Amino acid sequence: MSSRQSAYYRGITMAPYDLIKEGLIAIAVVGVLVFGLAGVLSSPDVPPLTVQHVATTAPLTFLQTALGELDGTDSINNYGPPYNRGTGSVQSLGPVSLQRLAGVHIPINTAQDMVLGPLRDVARMEPSVAAALQIFGHASTTQQGAWEAAYGTALARARVQGTAVQLPAGGYGPVAPMLTGLLTLGRSGLLEPAIDNSPRIYSTDNTRSILFLQATALPAAAASSHLVGSQWGMMNETGNYPGQAWLWLYTLGYQIPAYASSPNADALVMASIAVLSLLLILVPWIPGLNRLPRLLGVYRLIWRDYYRERAALAPVPPAPQPLVIPGGRP
């Protein structure tokens, strides 16, 4: 070895070692472990929640979701950056809001992106939807709002008969055939591509189609799999599998009452994790913290053979020379 390491290990018993062989043995052993676990336990793959599933099994949820997207009451419309200039979910730490500073870079208008846009595709195949869109488009915003409100009230009293949704009679104008048309598109399985593949086809960006279900259907499905924040969900996995247990501290942040009840919960947790991570990186240079292992004494177990050997040697041989690092401390 180099003279630097020779000097460092002066006075220390050495032993022959074959690092390459040790490495190959480690790979073989871990390989057996990993292939064994994979073969016996497999891995989870729960299929995604599709709009088709929601539209087919819970049409009222679908219609409520779609109405919220059309009339703008869906929380995404008031979320804030990066989607829009809303204030509903804008977080800050003290006077600084990195979220607001970042600005709007993923503009989302739920009415256009998730309802009216896909309906224009349906309109090419369905004349009744084309006609409804015409009427809706030419009406005033007040009129549109009135239709939407009436539809929303009626939806609370709607019934599902087989595959059909039965609304009490009322003045919904074109909103009823529009949302029925969207329901049909949803049931066909074509709503996600209609949302995501506009304006460019072959899109790999699922932002809007995933956000379509964010209000009700997705959280409900997650809760039943114990994946919600208050269920320490970040650490969990679908099925009977270990999750990301290493996210325990991050998840713990969301359980602290002061954080959980704050509108800035995410910013607070992320900032706390950033500070703790920095502390962890800087442990070698933090006085007190860097002496903790010496105080705890677990090292005595690790190196017990070494200490036993040194104690047995008499007289006490000269201690290894402290290594002098230019500009540093031993």
Partner 1 sequence: MGQVPSYVQWGFIQISVPNLVVIVLMLVVFGLALVLPNPHRRVTGGPR
Partner 2 sequence: MNLTTALRQRLRRDVVLDDMLPDELPAYVHSYVYLFGIATIASLVFVILSGIVLAAAGPTWWHVSSVGHFLNSVHFWSVQTFFFFLVLHLWTTFFQGAWRDGRGATWAVGMLCFLIGIGTAFTGYISQQNFDAQWIAEQGKDAMNAIGIGAFFNVLDFGQMYGFHIVILPVIVSALVGLHLLLVRRLGVVRPYPTQAEEVNP
145 binds partner 1 (CB under 8 A): no
Query: What letter would DSSP give residue 297?
Result: -
User: Cβ distance 233 to 222 under 8 Å?
Assistant: yes
Minimum distance, C-beta of residue 255 to partner 1, in the bound complex (Å): 6
Q: Which of residues 47-66 bind partner 2 (CB under 8 A)?
A: 47-49
Q: Which stretch binds partner 1 (CB under 8 A): 74-82, 130-138, 225-233, 281-289?
A: 225-233
How far apart CA 322 and CA 320 sit, in angstroms, is: 6
Of partner 2, partner 1, none, which one sits near residue 261, judging by CB under 5 to 8 A according to partner kind?
A: none
Provide the 10 A C-beta neighbour count for residue 271: 14
Of partner 1, partner 2, none, which one sits near residue 10, judging by CB under 5 to 8 A according to partner kind?
A: partner 1
31 binds partner 2 (CB under 8 A): yes
Of partner 1, partner 2, none, which one sits near residue 61, judging by CB under 5 to 8 A according to partner kind?
A: none
How far apart CA 279 and CA 282 sit, in angstroms, is: 5
* Backbone phi, psi, residue 220, to 5°: -65, -45
Structure tokens at 15: 């032993």
7 binds partner 2 (CB under 8 A): no
Q: Which stretch binds partner 2 (CB under 8 A): 58-66, 141-149, 168-176, 237-245?
A: 237-245
> Site size for partner 1, by CB under 8 A?
33
Where are the strands (E) in 89-188, listed by range? 159-161, 164-166
Q: Which of residues 159-178 bind partner 2 (CB under 8 A)?
A: none
Q: Which residues are within 8 A (CB) of 275 and not within 5 positions of it... i.e. 6 or more apart? A: none
Return the ∠ at Cα 304 (arms to 298 and 305), rounded to 5°: 155
Query: What letter would DSSP give residue 48?
Result: P
94 binds partner 2 (CB under 8 A): no
State which residue, 151 or 212, has the beta carbon closest to partner 2.
Answer: 212
Structure tokens at 100: 């607001």
Which amino acid is residue 291, in one-letter code?
R
Minimum distance, C-beta of residue 231 to partner 2, in the bound complex (Å): 12
Q: Is residue 266 helix, strand or coil?
A: helix
Minimum distance, C-beta of residue 178 to partner 1, in the bound complex (Å): 38
State which residue, 125 or 282, has the beta carbon closest to partner 2.
Answer: 282
> Site size for partner 2, by CB under 8 A?
109
State which residue, 231 or 262, has the beta carbon closest to partner 1.
Answer: 231
Structure tokens at 175: 């909103």
Of partner 2, partner 1, none, which one sits near residue 162, judging by CB under 5 to 8 A according to partner kind?
A: none
How far apart CA 59 and CA 163 sit, in angstroms, is: 8
List Cα–Cα distances, 34 to 37, 38, 40, 235, 256, in angstroms.
5, 6, 10, 21, 36
295 binds partner 1 (CB under 8 A): no
Q: Which residues are within 8 A (CB) of 64 and not within 5 positions of it... i.e. 6 or more apart? A: 152, 155, 216
89 binds partner 2 (CB under 8 A): yes
Minimum distance, C-beta of residue 268 to partner 2, in the bound complex (Å): 9
Minimum distance, C-beta of residue 21 to partner 1, in the bound complex (Å): 13
State which residue, 141 or 204, has the beta carbon closest to partner 2.
Answer: 204
242 binds partner 1 (CB under 8 A): yes
Site for partner 1, rule CB under 8 A: 9-16, 41-42, 44, 224-226, 231-232, 235-237, 239-243, 245, 255, 298, 301-302, 305, 309, 313, 317
